[in-house]
Structure 1
């Protein structure tokens, strides 16, 4: 038998959410908007599969470069390279 190595493998602890009363997916996270050059944190919401970046980018901070439909193009520094991620706003938080 061969072990699965899917998109969300080895993320049991990383993509956990704490339980809380009320809605688990507040609508305000979905309708938030960002401007170009805003600094944002990539915090993956595991209950929304659409528009998730790869789990290796969970917790990273990047800069909004462009808007693409409902999603945003976020550039981050990964080692020596700049990488562009296409992420939906449910998985982004504005850096204060």
Structure 2
């Protein structure tokens, strides 16, 4: 028997959401607007599968380079290689400048 190696394999801890009272998916997450050049953190929301990046990018920080439909193109370095990811705003958080 061949073991499944799907998109979400070995990601039980990353793809688990903390149970809490109140709205689990506020609409404001989906309506976020970002500008080109903004730095964003990739935090995957496991209850929304559309526009979700690969779990290896969870916790990484990238730069918004463009918009594509409802999603944003985020560029970041994965090791030494530059990558471009297409991610919906549900899975992004703006980096605060202090």
State the TM-score, normalizing by the size of structure 1. 0.97
Superposed displacement of residue 95, structure 1: 0.4
Equivalent in the alignment of 2:46: 46
Equivalent in the alignment of 1:79: 79
Equivalent in the alignment of 2:68: 68
Equivalent in the alignment of 2:89: 89
Distance 1:46 1:30 in 2: 14
Superposed displacement of residue 3, structure 1: 1.4
Residue 19 (str. 1) matches residue 19 (str. 2): yes
Residue 59 (str. 1) matches residue 39 (str. 2): no
Q: How many residues align?
A: 96
Unaligned 5+ residue runs, structure 2? Answer: none
Equivalent in the alignment of 2:30: 30
Superposed displacement of residue 88, structure 1: 0.1
Unaligned 5+ residue runs, structure 1? Answer: none
RMSD: 0.6
TM-superposition CA deviations, 1:15-45 (whole Å, max 9, x none): 1111110111110000010000000000000
